[in-house]
Protein backbone atom coordinates (compact mmCIF):
# COMPACT_ATOMS: atom_id res chain seq x y z
CA UNK A 1 0.00 0.00 0.00
CA UNK A 2 1.25 3.45 -0.82
CA UNK A 3 -1.21 5.46 1.21
CA UNK A 4 -0.46 6.22 4.81
CA UNK A 5 -2.89 4.41 7.14
CA UNK A 6 -1.02 5.03 10.36
CA UNK A 7 -3.89 6.54 12.32
CA UNK A 8 -6.35 3.93 11.05
CA UNK A 9 -3.95 1.20 12.14
CA UNK A 10 -3.65 2.73 15.60
CA UNK A 11 -7.42 3.03 15.92
CA UNK A 12 -7.84 -0.57 14.80
CA UNK A 13 -5.49 -1.70 17.56
CA UNK A 14 -7.51 0.25 20.14
CA UNK A 15 -10.79 -1.00 18.64
CA UNK A 16 -9.78 -4.66 18.78
CA UNK A 17 -9.26 -4.34 22.51
CA UNK A 18 -12.86 -3.31 23.14
CA UNK A 19 -14.96 -4.31 20.11
CA UNK A 20 -15.10 -7.86 18.69
CA UNK A 21 -12.72 -7.81 15.74
CA UNK A 22 -12.55 -4.05 16.11
CA UNK A 23 -15.77 -3.51 14.16
CA UNK A 24 -19.51 -3.29 14.68
CA UNK A 25 -20.39 -5.30 11.57
CA UNK A 26 -18.15 -8.08 10.22
CA UNK A 27 -17.63 -6.89 6.64
CA UNK A 28 -16.10 -3.67 7.97
CA UNK A 29 -13.06 -5.63 9.15
CA UNK A 30 -11.89 -5.86 5.48
CA UNK A 31 -10.96 -9.46 6.29
CA UNK A 32 -11.77 -10.91 2.90
CA UNK A 33 -9.59 -8.32 1.17
CA UNK A 34 -6.63 -9.03 3.40
CA UNK A 35 -5.93 -5.63 4.94
CA UNK A 36 -6.94 -3.78 8.06
CA UNK A 37 -9.90 -1.43 7.86
CA UNK A 38 -9.65 2.28 7.32
CA UNK A 39 -11.36 4.47 9.91
CA UNK A 40 -13.46 7.31 8.59
CA UNK A 41 -13.30 10.93 9.62
CA UNK A 42 -16.02 12.35 7.38
CA UNK A 43 -17.97 12.06 4.16
CA UNK A 44 -18.84 14.70 1.61
CA UNK A 45 -20.85 14.11 -1.58
CA UNK A 46 -19.27 11.12 -3.37
CA UNK A 47 -16.14 11.19 -1.21
CA UNK A 48 -15.14 9.73 2.10
CA UNK A 49 -12.06 10.80 4.10
CA UNK A 50 -10.16 8.58 6.48
CA UNK A 51 -8.50 9.68 9.71
CA UNK A 52 -5.14 9.85 7.91
CA UNK A 53 -6.52 12.46 5.53
CA UNK A 54 -6.81 10.18 2.50
CA UNK A 55 -9.74 10.90 0.20
CA UNK A 56 -11.60 8.09 -1.55
CA UNK A 57 -14.47 7.89 -4.00
CA UNK A 58 -17.07 6.13 -1.90
CA UNK A 59 -18.76 3.24 -3.69
CA UNK A 60 -20.10 1.72 -0.47
CA UNK A 61 -22.31 4.68 0.40
CA UNK A 62 -23.09 3.10 3.77
CA UNK A 63 -24.28 -0.04 1.88
CA UNK A 64 -27.17 1.79 0.25
CA UNK A 65 -28.73 4.48 2.41
CA UNK A 66 -26.79 7.37 0.88
CA UNK A 67 -28.52 7.61 -2.48
CA UNK A 68 -28.02 11.39 -2.30
CA UNK A 69 -24.36 11.06 -1.31
CA UNK A 70 -22.84 12.20 1.98
CA UNK A 71 -24.25 15.22 3.82
CA UNK A 72 -26.67 16.30 1.12
CA UNK A 73 -28.10 19.76 1.94
CA UNK A 74 -31.66 18.44 1.60
CA UNK A 75 -30.99 16.12 4.53
CA UNK A 76 -29.39 18.68 6.76
CA UNK A 77 -32.21 21.13 6.20
CA UNK A 78 -34.20 21.32 9.42
CA UNK A 79 -32.28 18.65 11.31
CA UNK A 80 -31.20 21.09 14.02
CA UNK A 81 -34.78 22.10 14.67
CA UNK A 82 -35.75 18.48 15.10
CA UNK A 83 -32.86 18.07 17.50
CA UNK A 84 -33.95 21.05 19.56
CA UNK A 85 -37.44 19.60 19.88
CA UNK A 86 -36.07 16.47 21.54
CA UNK A 87 -34.65 13.30 20.05
CA UNK A 88 -37.14 10.66 21.13
CA UNK A 89 -40.57 10.71 22.74
CA UNK A 90 -41.79 7.16 23.21
CA UNK A 91 -45.25 8.33 22.16
CA UNK A 92 -46.39 9.07 18.60
CA UNK A 93 -45.18 12.03 16.53
CA UNK A 94 -46.43 13.52 13.27
CA UNK A 95 -43.22 12.50 11.48
CA UNK A 96 -44.13 8.82 11.76
CA UNK A 97 -47.44 9.47 10.05
CA UNK A 98 -45.82 11.35 7.19
CA UNK A 99 -43.25 8.61 6.71
CA UNK A 100 -45.88 5.86 6.63
CA UNK A 101 -48.00 7.87 4.19
CA UNK A 102 -45.03 8.35 1.87
CA UNK A 103 -44.21 4.64 1.85
CA UNK A 104 -47.87 3.70 1.38
CA UNK A 105 -48.17 6.09 -1.54
CA UNK A 106 -45.15 4.64 -3.32
CA UNK A 107 -45.84 0.93 -2.75
CA UNK A 108 -49.37 -0.36 -3.40
CA UNK A 109 -48.69 -3.40 -1.21
CA UNK A 110 -47.87 -1.14 1.73
CA UNK A 111 -51.40 -0.44 2.94
CA UNK A 112 -50.18 -0.38 6.54
CA UNK A 113 -46.61 0.42 7.56
CA UNK A 114 -44.79 -0.29 10.82
CA UNK A 115 -41.45 1.40 11.50
CA UNK A 116 -38.58 -0.51 13.10
CA UNK A 117 -34.85 0.21 13.53
CA UNK A 118 -33.09 -1.98 10.96
CA UNK A 119 -33.60 -4.18 7.95
CA UNK A 120 -33.05 -7.20 10.17
CA UNK A 121 -35.94 -6.20 12.40
CA UNK A 122 -38.13 -5.54 9.37
CA UNK A 123 -37.73 -9.00 7.84
CA UNK A 124 -37.83 -10.78 11.19
CA UNK A 125 -41.09 -9.03 12.08
CA UNK A 126 -42.65 -9.55 8.65
CA UNK A 127 -42.05 -13.27 8.96
CA UNK A 128 -43.61 -13.36 12.40
CA UNK A 129 -46.68 -11.58 11.07
CA UNK A 130 -46.93 -13.90 8.06
CA UNK A 131 -46.71 -16.93 10.33
CA UNK A 132 -49.35 -15.46 12.63
CA UNK A 133 -51.60 -14.63 9.69
CA UNK A 134 -51.41 -18.04 8.02
CA UNK A 135 -51.05 -20.18 11.13
CA UNK A 136 -48.26 -22.00 9.26
CA UNK A 137 -44.66 -22.56 10.34
CA UNK A 138 -42.56 -23.04 7.24
CA UNK A 139 -40.89 -20.18 5.45
CA UNK A 140 -39.15 -20.14 2.10
CA UNK A 141 -36.03 -18.15 1.30
CA UNK A 142 -33.55 -18.40 -1.55
CA UNK A 143 -29.90 -19.26 -1.49
CA UNK A 144 -27.65 -16.21 -1.84
CA UNK A 145 -30.32 -13.79 -0.60
CA UNK A 146 -29.55 -12.04 2.68
CA UNK A 147 -32.32 -10.76 4.88
CA UNK A 148 -30.46 -9.69 8.00
CA UNK A 149 -29.22 -11.73 10.91
CA UNK A 150 -32.34 -12.94 12.71
CA UNK A 151 -32.17 -16.62 13.63
CA UNK A 152 -34.76 -18.02 11.23
CA UNK A 153 -33.11 -16.29 8.28
CA UNK A 154 -29.50 -17.01 9.11
CA UNK A 155 -29.56 -20.14 7.10
CA UNK A 156 -27.62 -21.75 4.34
CA UNK A 157 -28.87 -24.56 2.24
CA UNK A 158 -27.84 -28.12 2.91
CA UNK A 159 -26.94 -30.38 0.03
CA UNK A 160 -29.31 -31.10 -2.82
CA UNK A 161 -31.32 -28.78 -4.99
CA UNK A 162 -33.99 -27.74 -2.57
CA UNK A 163 -33.11 -28.21 1.03
CA UNK A 164 -34.04 -27.56 4.58
CA UNK A 165 -31.85 -24.94 6.11
CA UNK A 166 -28.89 -25.49 8.32
CA UNK A 167 -27.76 -22.66 10.60
CA UNK A 168 -25.10 -20.41 9.05
CA UNK A 169 -23.86 -19.55 12.48
CA UNK A 170 -23.23 -21.25 15.78
CA UNK A 171 -25.74 -19.95 18.29
CA UNK A 172 -28.66 -20.44 15.94
CA UNK A 173 -30.49 -23.53 17.20
CA UNK A 174 -31.08 -26.13 14.48
CA UNK A 175 -34.69 -26.22 15.64
CA UNK A 176 -35.13 -22.55 14.79
CA UNK A 177 -34.22 -23.07 11.17
CA UNK A 178 -35.81 -26.46 10.64
CA UNK A 179 -38.83 -24.71 9.17
CA UNK A 180 -36.76 -22.53 6.85
CA UNK A 181 -36.73 -23.97 3.35
CA UNK A 182 -33.92 -22.80 1.10
CA UNK A 183 -34.75 -22.70 -2.60
CA UNK A 184 -32.65 -21.92 -5.63
CA UNK A 185 -32.92 -18.40 -6.97
CA UNK A 186 -34.31 -18.19 -10.50
CA UNK A 187 -35.22 -21.89 -10.66
CA UNK A 188 -38.87 -22.02 -11.77
CA UNK A 189 -39.02 -25.81 -11.95
CA UNK A 190 -37.85 -26.08 -8.36
CA UNK A 191 -40.55 -23.60 -7.32
CA UNK A 192 -43.27 -25.59 -9.05
CA UNK A 193 -42.32 -28.86 -7.41
CA UNK A 194 -41.74 -27.27 -4.02
CA UNK A 195 -45.14 -25.60 -3.95
CA UNK A 196 -46.84 -28.75 -5.23
CA UNK A 197 -45.29 -30.76 -2.40
CA UNK A 198 -45.39 -28.29 0.50
CA UNK A 199 -47.12 -25.10 -0.64
CA UNK A 200 -50.00 -25.44 1.79
CA UNK A 201 -47.58 -25.65 4.74
CA UNK A 202 -45.61 -22.51 3.87
CA UNK A 203 -46.40 -19.26 5.68
CA UNK A 204 -44.33 -16.97 3.50
CA UNK A 205 -41.74 -16.70 0.78
CA UNK A 206 -39.20 -13.93 1.21
CA UNK A 207 -37.08 -12.78 -1.69
CA UNK A 208 -34.68 -10.07 -2.79
CA UNK A 209 -36.19 -9.30 -6.18
CA UNK A 210 -32.79 -8.07 -7.25
CA UNK A 211 -30.33 -9.94 -5.09
CA UNK A 212 -27.69 -7.53 -3.83
CA UNK A 213 -25.93 -9.88 -1.47
CA UNK A 214 -24.41 -12.33 -3.97
CA UNK A 215 -23.05 -9.58 -6.14
CA UNK A 216 -25.96 -8.24 -8.12
CA UNK A 217 -28.23 -10.94 -9.52
CA UNK A 218 -31.70 -9.95 -10.68
CA UNK A 219 -34.59 -12.38 -10.52
CA UNK A 220 -35.90 -13.28 -13.97
CA UNK A 221 -39.38 -12.09 -14.82
CA UNK A 222 -40.43 -15.72 -15.26
CA UNK A 223 -39.20 -16.57 -11.75
CA UNK A 224 -41.01 -13.65 -10.16
CA UNK A 225 -44.20 -14.36 -12.10
CA UNK A 226 -44.11 -17.99 -10.96
CA UNK A 227 -43.41 -17.01 -7.38
CA UNK A 228 -46.33 -14.56 -7.39
CA UNK A 229 -48.69 -17.06 -9.06
CA UNK A 230 -47.79 -19.97 -6.80
CA UNK A 231 -47.86 -17.88 -3.62
CA UNK A 232 -51.38 -16.74 -4.43
CA UNK A 233 -52.50 -20.24 -5.35
CA UNK A 234 -51.23 -21.76 -2.11
CA UNK A 235 -52.07 -18.91 0.25
CA UNK A 236 -48.40 -18.14 0.87
CA UNK A 237 -47.58 -14.57 1.92
CA UNK A 238 -45.12 -13.18 -0.61
CA UNK A 239 -42.62 -10.82 1.03
CA UNK A 240 -40.32 -8.61 -1.03
CA UNK A 241 -37.17 -7.65 0.81
CA UNK A 242 -36.64 -4.18 -0.63
CA UNK A 243 -34.14 -3.13 2.03
CA UNK A 244 -31.62 -2.37 -0.73
CA UNK A 245 -33.88 -1.88 -3.75
CA UNK A 246 -36.62 0.18 -2.07
CA UNK A 247 -36.57 3.75 -3.39
CA UNK A 248 -33.30 2.89 -5.20
CA UNK A 249 -34.20 1.08 -8.41
CA UNK A 250 -37.13 3.45 -8.80
CA UNK A 251 -39.23 5.39 -6.33
CA UNK A 252 -41.49 2.33 -6.25
CA UNK A 253 -38.46 -0.01 -6.04
CA UNK A 254 -38.32 -3.51 -7.49
CA UNK A 255 -42.10 -3.81 -7.09
CA UNK A 256 -42.49 -0.99 -9.62
CA UNK A 257 -39.84 -2.26 -12.01
CA UNK A 258 -41.20 -5.82 -12.07
CA UNK A 259 -44.81 -4.62 -11.93
CA UNK A 260 -45.59 -7.20 -9.25
CA UNK A 261 -47.18 -6.46 -5.92
CA UNK A 262 -46.07 -8.59 -3.02
CA UNK A 263 -48.31 -9.13 0.01
CA UNK A 264 -45.71 -7.63 2.34
CA UNK A 265 -42.61 -5.53 1.75
CA UNK A 266 -39.58 -4.71 3.90
CA UNK A 267 -37.52 -1.54 3.86
CA UNK A 268 -34.40 -0.09 5.47
CA UNK A 269 -31.42 1.97 4.32
CA UNK A 270 -32.74 4.80 2.06
CA UNK A 271 -35.86 5.43 4.16
CA UNK A 272 -33.59 6.48 7.03
CA UNK A 273 -31.29 8.73 5.01
CA UNK A 274 -28.30 7.31 6.90
CA UNK A 275 -29.91 6.96 10.33
CA UNK A 276 -30.87 3.59 11.81
CA UNK A 277 -34.23 2.59 10.38
CA UNK A 278 -36.34 -0.17 8.92
CA UNK A 279 -39.99 -0.74 8.11
CA UNK A 280 -42.27 -3.58 7.23
CA UNK A 281 -45.53 -3.10 5.47
CA UNK A 282 -48.30 -5.09 3.87
CA UNK A 283 -51.86 -5.51 2.84
CA UNK A 284 -54.24 -4.28 5.53
CA UNK A 285 -55.74 -7.70 6.35
CA UNK A 286 -52.27 -9.14 6.96
CA UNK A 287 -51.06 -6.12 8.92
CA UNK A 288 -54.23 -6.31 11.04
CA UNK A 289 -52.40 -9.16 12.80
CA UNK A 290 -49.91 -6.69 14.27
CA UNK A 291 -50.33 -5.63 17.89
CA UNK A 292 -52.21 -3.60 19.12
CA UNK A 293 -54.81 -4.35 16.40
CA UNK A 294 -54.02 -8.06 16.35
CA UNK A 295 -52.25 -10.65 18.46
CA UNK A 296 -48.77 -10.66 16.84
CA UNK A 297 -46.41 -8.81 19.14
CA UNK A 298 -43.76 -6.46 17.82
CA UNK A 299 -42.52 -3.24 19.42
CA UNK A 300 -39.60 -0.83 19.69
CA UNK A 301 -38.43 1.91 22.07
CA UNK A 302 -36.84 3.94 19.28
CA UNK A 303 -39.12 2.87 16.41
CA UNK A 304 -40.20 5.90 14.41
CA UNK A 305 -37.46 7.99 16.01
CA UNK A 306 -37.92 11.66 15.04
CA UNK A 307 -34.37 12.18 13.78
CA UNK A 308 -34.49 9.05 11.65
CA UNK A 309 -37.95 9.96 10.36
CA UNK A 310 -36.77 13.44 9.46
CA UNK A 311 -33.77 12.16 7.51
CA UNK A 312 -35.92 9.57 5.77
CA UNK A 313 -38.71 11.98 4.91
CA UNK A 314 -36.23 14.55 3.57
CA UNK A 315 -34.64 11.87 1.39
CA UNK A 316 -37.95 10.61 0.04
CA UNK A 317 -39.27 14.11 -0.56
CA UNK A 318 -36.14 14.99 -2.50
CA UNK A 319 -36.35 11.83 -4.60
CA UNK A 320 -40.04 12.36 -5.24
CA UNK A 321 -39.53 15.95 -6.28
CA UNK A 322 -36.72 14.97 -8.67
CA UNK A 323 -37.86 11.88 -10.59
CA UNK A 324 -35.15 12.58 -13.17
CA UNK A 325 -32.60 11.40 -10.59
CA UNK A 326 -33.57 7.78 -11.21
CA UNK A 327 -32.89 8.24 -14.90
CA UNK A 328 -29.55 9.83 -14.06
CA UNK A 329 -28.58 6.97 -11.74
CA UNK A 330 -29.54 4.55 -14.46
CA UNK A 331 -27.42 6.47 -16.98
CA UNK A 332 -24.42 6.44 -14.65
CA UNK A 333 -24.66 2.67 -14.20
CA UNK A 334 -25.27 2.12 -17.88
CA UNK A 335 -22.21 4.22 -18.78
CA UNK A 336 -20.01 2.29 -16.36
CA UNK A 337 -21.34 -1.00 -17.68
CA UNK A 338 -20.79 -0.20 -21.35
CA UNK A 339 -17.29 1.20 -20.75
CA UNK A 340 -16.26 -1.73 -18.60
CA UNK A 341 -17.83 -4.38 -20.81
CA UNK A 342 -16.01 -3.06 -23.89
CA UNK A 343 -12.72 -2.88 -21.99
CA UNK A 344 -13.13 -6.38 -20.58
CA UNK A 345 -13.90 -7.81 -24.00
CA UNK A 346 -11.04 -6.04 -25.79
CA UNK A 347 -8.57 -7.22 -23.20
CA UNK A 348 -10.11 -10.67 -22.78
CA UNK A 349 -10.22 -10.30 -19.02
CA UNK A 350 -11.65 -13.10 -16.81
CA UNK A 351 -14.18 -10.78 -15.16
CA UNK A 352 -17.75 -9.67 -15.82
CA UNK A 353 -19.25 -6.25 -15.21
CA UNK A 354 -22.98 -6.57 -14.71
CA UNK A 355 -25.69 -4.22 -13.63
CA UNK A 356 -29.40 -4.19 -13.05
CA UNK A 357 -30.71 -0.67 -13.47
CA UNK A 358 -28.61 1.43 -11.10
CA UNK A 359 -27.06 -1.54 -9.27
CA UNK A 360 -23.65 -2.44 -10.82
CA UNK A 361 -21.24 -5.22 -9.89
CA UNK A 362 -17.88 -6.54 -11.04
CA UNK A 363 -17.64 -10.32 -10.77
CA UNK A 364 -14.25 -11.98 -10.93
CA UNK A 365 -15.57 -14.81 -13.10
CA UNK A 366 -17.35 -15.18 -16.39
CA UNK A 367 -21.16 -15.06 -16.34
CA UNK A 368 -23.99 -15.53 -16.76
CA UNK A 369 -24.98 -15.27 -13.09
CA UNK A 370 -28.45 -16.53 -12.24
CA UNK A 371 -28.12 -18.05 -8.80
CA UNK A 372 -25.72 -18.56 -5.91
CA UNK A 373 -24.02 -21.55 -7.57
CA UNK A 374 -23.06 -19.32 -10.48
CA UNK A 375 -21.36 -16.70 -8.31
CA UNK A 376 -19.76 -18.78 -5.61
CA UNK A 377 -16.77 -19.72 -7.72
CA UNK A 378 -15.69 -16.15 -8.28
CA UNK A 379 -11.99 -15.55 -7.74
CA UNK A 380 -12.18 -13.86 -4.36
CA UNK A 381 -8.38 -13.63 -4.14
CA UNK A 382 -8.32 -11.64 -7.35
CA UNK A 383 -11.09 -9.42 -5.98
CA UNK A 384 -9.00 -8.80 -2.86
CA UNK A 385 -6.02 -7.72 -4.99
CA UNK A 386 -8.28 -5.50 -7.10
CA UNK A 387 -9.81 -3.95 -3.96
CA UNK A 388 -6.41 -3.12 -2.44
CA UNK A 389 -5.10 -1.58 -5.64
CA UNK A 390 -8.26 0.46 -6.05
CA UNK A 391 -8.06 1.70 -2.48
CA UNK A 392 -4.51 2.82 -3.15
CA UNK A 393 -5.81 4.75 -6.16
CA UNK A 394 -8.40 6.49 -3.99
CA UNK A 395 -11.46 4.33 -4.68
CA UNK A 396 -13.27 2.66 -1.79
CA UNK A 397 -15.11 -0.44 -3.02
CA UNK A 398 -17.18 -2.88 -0.98
CA UNK A 399 -14.53 -4.95 0.83
CA UNK A 400 -16.02 -8.24 -0.39
CA UNK A 401 -16.70 -9.76 -3.80
CA UNK A 402 -20.33 -10.60 -3.18
CA UNK A 403 -21.59 -7.06 -2.92
CA UNK A 404 -22.66 -4.57 -5.52
CA UNK A 405 -21.41 -1.03 -5.99
CA UNK A 406 -23.61 1.63 -4.50
CA UNK A 407 -23.96 4.74 -6.61
CA UNK A 408 -25.39 8.04 -5.47
CA UNK A 409 -26.56 11.07 -7.39
CA UNK A 410 -23.39 12.82 -6.24
CA UNK A 411 -21.21 10.48 -8.31
CA UNK A 412 -20.75 12.90 -11.18
CA UNK A 413 -19.00 12.40 -14.52
CA UNK A 414 -15.54 13.18 -13.20
CA UNK A 415 -15.97 10.73 -10.34
CA UNK A 416 -17.14 8.05 -12.75
CA UNK A 417 -14.14 8.74 -15.02
CA UNK A 418 -11.76 8.41 -12.08
CA UNK A 419 -13.37 5.11 -11.13
CA UNK A 420 -13.17 3.84 -14.71
CA UNK A 421 -9.53 4.85 -15.17
CA UNK A 422 -8.54 3.32 -11.85
CA UNK A 423 -10.46 0.16 -12.59
CA UNK A 424 -9.04 -0.28 -16.07
CA UNK A 425 -5.45 0.33 -15.04
CA UNK A 426 -5.84 -2.01 -12.06
CA UNK A 427 -7.22 -4.81 -14.21
CA UNK A 428 -4.38 -4.37 -16.69
CA UNK A 429 -1.83 -4.49 -13.86
CA UNK A 430 -3.41 -7.71 -12.67
CA UNK A 431 -3.89 -9.58 -15.92
CA UNK A 432 -1.53 -8.14 -18.55
246 binds ligand PMP (CB under 6 A): no
Assign residue 141 a region (left: φ > 0; alpha: ψ between -120 and 50; beta: otherwise).
Answer: beta
Q: Which of 37, 43, 45, 119 binds ligand PMP (CB under 6 A)?
A: 119
Contact 141, 151 (CB under 8 A): no
Nearest to 78 by CA among 273, 302, 301, 325: 273
Contacts of 278 (CB under 8 A, 6+ apart): 115, 116, 117, 118, 119, 120, 121, 122, 243, 266, 267, 268, 271, 272
- Using alpha carbons only, what angle is made at residue 146 by residues 19 and 38, rounded to the nearest 5 degrees? 35
Q: Cβ of 123: how many Cβ atoms within 10 Å?
A: 28
268 binds ligand PMP (CB under 6 A): yes
Contacts of 261 (CB under 8 A, 6+ apart): 108, 109, 255
User: Which CB sits closer to ligand PMP, 275 or 287?
Assistant: 275
Q: Which of 120, 157, 255, 408 binds ligand PMP (CB under 6 A)?
A: 120
Show the binding pattern over residues 138-167: x = contacts ligand PMP (CB under 6 A), - = does not.
Answer: --------xxx-------------------
- Using alpha carbons only, what angle is made at residue 219 by residues 218 and 221, rounded to the nearest 5 degrees? 120
406 binds ligand PMP (CB under 6 A): no
Catalytic: 146? yes
Catalytic: 285? no
User: Which CB sits closer to ligand PMP, 59 or 415?
Assistant: 59
Counting residues that bind ligand PMP (by CB under 6 A) gives 16
241 binds ligand PMP (CB under 6 A): yes
What 3-state class would DSSP assign to 70?
Answer: strand
What is the rounded distance in angstroms from the CA atom of residue 208 to the CA atom of residue 163?
19
Catalytic one of 138, 141, 269, 332:
269
315 binds ligand PMP (CB under 6 A): no
User: Which CB sits closer to ligand PMP, 143 or 241?
Assistant: 241
Catalytic: 241? yes
User: Which CB sits closer to ligand PMP, 275 or 415?
Assistant: 275
**Which residue number is nearest to ligand PMP in terms of Cβ?**
119
Helix (H) or strand (E) holding 392: helix 380-392
Catalytic one of 50, 179, 187, 241:
241
Residue 344's beta-bridge partner residues? none
Q: Find the shortest distance in angstroms from Cβ 379 to ligand PMP.
A: 23
User: Which CB sits closer to ligand PMP, 306 or 398?
Assistant: 398
Q: Find the shortest distance in angstroms from Cβ 145 to ligand PMP.
A: 7
243 binds ligand PMP (CB under 6 A): yes
Q: Find the shortest distance in angstroms from Cβ 111 to ligand PMP.
A: 21
Catalytic one of 47, 107, 133, 146:
146
183 binds ligand PMP (CB under 6 A): no
- Count of CA atoms in the C-beta half-sphere (13 A) of 99: 33
Contact 60, 396 (CB under 8 A): yes
213 binds ligand PMP (CB under 6 A): yes
Helix (H) or strand (E) holding 427: helix 413-431
Give contact residues for ligand PMP (rule: CB under 6 A). 63, 118-120, 123, 146-148, 208, 212-213, 241, 243-244, 268, 278
Active site amino acids: 146, 241, 269
Amino acid sequence: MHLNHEKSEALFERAKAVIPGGVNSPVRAFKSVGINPIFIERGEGPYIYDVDGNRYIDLICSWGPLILGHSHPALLDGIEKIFQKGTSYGVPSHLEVTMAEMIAEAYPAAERVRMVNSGTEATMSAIRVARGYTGRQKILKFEGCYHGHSDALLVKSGSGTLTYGVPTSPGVPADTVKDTLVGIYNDVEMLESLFAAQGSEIACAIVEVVAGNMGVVPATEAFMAALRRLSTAYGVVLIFDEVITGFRLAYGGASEIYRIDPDMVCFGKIIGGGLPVGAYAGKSDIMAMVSPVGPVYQAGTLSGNPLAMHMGIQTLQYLKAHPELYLQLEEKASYLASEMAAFIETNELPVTFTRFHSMPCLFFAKGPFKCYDDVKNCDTEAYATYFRKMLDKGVLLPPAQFEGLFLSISHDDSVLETYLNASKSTLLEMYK
